[in-house]
Structure 1
Amino acid sequence: MIRFENLTKSFQVRGQRKVVIDNLDATLPTGKSLALLGRNGAGKSTLMQIIAGTMRPDSGRVISDGSISWPVGFGGSFHRELTGAQNVRFIARIYGVDTEELEDFVRDFAQLGPHFNMPLRSYSAGMKSRLAFGTSMGIQFDTYLVDEVTAVGDAAFREKSRAVFTERMKQSSAVLVNHDMGQLREFCDAGIVLERGHLEYFDNLEEAIARHEENMERTR
């Protein structure tokens, strides 16, 4: 369960306050893998970071009864001056998992070669995403937050990412952001639509997709 209580988040844009999450009250059920749908700029990545605790809301709070990953594919979870390996070992200690096991898993999965032992500031955006995805998949979370990460890398790496994520979904749930409706249909069984700062939950994924498409049509 993830519950939002009076959650609000805004940004200053060209001297004006833009509200992306507007006094949100909602509860996301346990055991569901949710597609998070919304137009570009609706605040999907912002909401994911607030759920993970990597961004503070203006007001309100998020309550959960399980463990939640950081947003997979978001490099802000790592220290740019540490190497990939050092970042992984640091995260292992924070989450109380075996340091060597996690390091071995990420080294094998992320396929960063010598860059694994180089500072994160030397990484490309894709390399950071692979490191983040591999590290999060190496830790068993109750809920994974995933933002377009299966689009990273070549075809072989994308297939490997899908396989390990499918394995994790046998025991965990997820909140996914992805513009590929096929992937959302593959991994998700319900949906939430973020529109003008408000969130609507649909127990049926196809109904969520239909609402999102209606929202998109209204602005064309």
Structure 2
Amino acid sequence: MIELRNVCKTYVTNGRRKIVAQNVNAIFPARRAVAVLGRNGAGKSTLLRMISGAMEPDSGEVVRHGTVSWPVGFAGSFHQDLTGLQNVRFIARVYGVDTDELVDFVADFAELGQHFNLPVRSYSSGMKSRLAFGVSMGIHFDTYLVDEVTAVGDASFKRKSEALFQQRISQSAAVMVTHTMGQVRRLCHHAGVLENGVFHFYEDVEDAIAHHERLMGGDDKGDE
């Protein structure tokens, strides 16, 4: 479970203030998947980073109960000169999980073939995303943070990624940023909308989707 208590966050860019969170209070319950919806630039990914601990709020606090993942699929922390295999071994040691088990899982899931033994700097963006998703899903967390992760790869890989994600959230919680309403309906138990620093939490995902679509002018009804 994750609790946000009076969380505030503001950016100042070129002399202009952008409020991301203004006294946000929310509870993301255990063993439930919660979608975070909102316009581009509303601050959804920033909210995810604050929940992960990678970014501190200006005031207020984020209380984490249990283990929380880095944003699933985030490839920015890989060492570019190490191979995919070496990166996976390093991450396994950092998180204290069985190295060989994680390597076998990622090698099978990510479908990188011989590239698994090549430096990550030689990977395409899609290959990095597959590697990152495999590593994230190969480690058990009480709460997974997800930022548009199942959008990578071809249709077959997307289906495989979504099936694995569904398996993980049957035992863990998730906070998921997505623009795909079909995913929200398929994967999430609850949803919230972030707008102008205010987070509106809805028990019923359809209520959140309706709120989001009103903000988007009714043109974001994708059911992919």
State the TM-score, normalized to the length of structure 2.
0.89
Q: Amino acid of the residue matched to residue 176 of structure 1?
A: M
Q: Is the Cα contact below 8 Å between 1:33 and 1:173 reproduced in 2? A: yes
Specify the SS of the correspondent of 1:217. Answer: coil
Q: Could you say which residue in structure 2 is the equivalent of 1:82? A: 82
1:48 aligned to 2:48?
Answer: yes
Quote the RMSD (CA, aligned, Å): 1.8
Give the aligned length: 218
**Separation in 2, partners of 1:82, 1:12:** 36
- Could you tell me which amino acid in structure 2 is paired with residue 148 of structure 1? E
C-alpha offsets along residues 83-137 of structure 1, whole Å, 9 cap, x if unaligned?
Answer: 2222211211122110110011111111122322233233222222111110111
Tell me what 1:216 maps to.
216
Per-residue displacement from partner, 1:115-161 (whole Å, max 9, x unpaired)?
22233233222222111110111111111111211111111211211
Aligned mates of 1:23, 1:119 — CA distance in 2: 44
Asked whether the 8 Å contact 1:72–1:129 carries over to 2, the reply is no
Structure 2, unpaired ranges of 5+: 219-224
1:15 is displaced (CA, Å) by: 3.3
Distance change in 2, residues 1:215/1:76 (3 Å): same
Give CA deviations for 1:152-171 in whole Å, capped at 9, x if unaligned.
Answer: 11112112112211211221
Is 1:67 paired with 2:67? yes
The Cα of 1:16 is off from its aligned counterpart by: 2.4
Q: Runs of 4 or more off by more than 3 Å in structure 1?
A: none
| Bigger mean CA deviation after superposition, 67-76 or 202-211 | 67-76
Distance 1:36 1:120 in 2: 30
Kept in 2, the 8 Å contact 1:6–1:24? The answer is yes
Instruction: Return the alpha-carbon distance in structure 2 between the equivalents of residues 214 and 119 of structure 1.
Output: 45
Q: Which moved more, 1:154-163 or 1:114-123?
A: 114-123
Q: State the partner residue of 1:177.
A: 177
Asked if structure 2 preserves the Cα contact closer than 8 Å seen for 1:70 and 1:77, the reply is: no
Q: Does residue 204 of structure 2 align to residue 204 of structure 1?
A: yes
Q: Give the CA deviation at 1:210.
A: 1.1
Q: Secondary structure at the match of 2:186?
A: helix
Q: Please tell me the residue identity of whatever aligns with 1:140.
A: H
Residue in structure 2 matched with residue 9 of structure 1 by the alignment = 9
Please name the residue that 1:20 is paired with.
20
Distance 1:81 1:21, change over 3 A: farther
Partners of 1:214 and 1:125 lie apart in 2 by 33
Whole-angstrom CA distance in 1 between matches of 2:106 and 2:36: 27
Distance 1:19 1:160 in 2: 37
* TM score, norm. by length of structure 1: 0.91
SS of the counterpart of 2:139? coil
1:5-26, CA deviations, whole angstroms, 9 ceiling, x for partnerless residues?
Answer: 2322233323323221223222
1:198 shift after superposition:
1.3
Structure 2 vs 1, CA of residues 6 and 120 (structure 1 numbering), >3 Å: closer, same or farther? farther
Identity across the alignment (%): 61
The equivalent residue for 2:194 is: 194
Deviations 1:158-196 (A, max 9, x none): 121122112112211211122221111111111111111
Question: Contact between 2:32 and 2:169, CA under 8 Å: does it hold in 1?
Answer: no
Distance 1:92 1:103 in 2: 8
What amino acid maps onto 1:117 in structure 2? N
Q: Distance in 2 between matches of 1:114 and 1:57?
A: 42
Code of the residue aligned with 2:121 in structure 1: it is R
Q: Report the AA paired with residue 114 of structure 1.
A: Q
1:56-79 deviations in Å (ceiling 9; x for gaps): 333332111121111112223323
2:89 is aligned with 1:117:
no
Instruction: Note the 1:96-111 alignment, pairs <5 A.
Output: 96-111=96-111
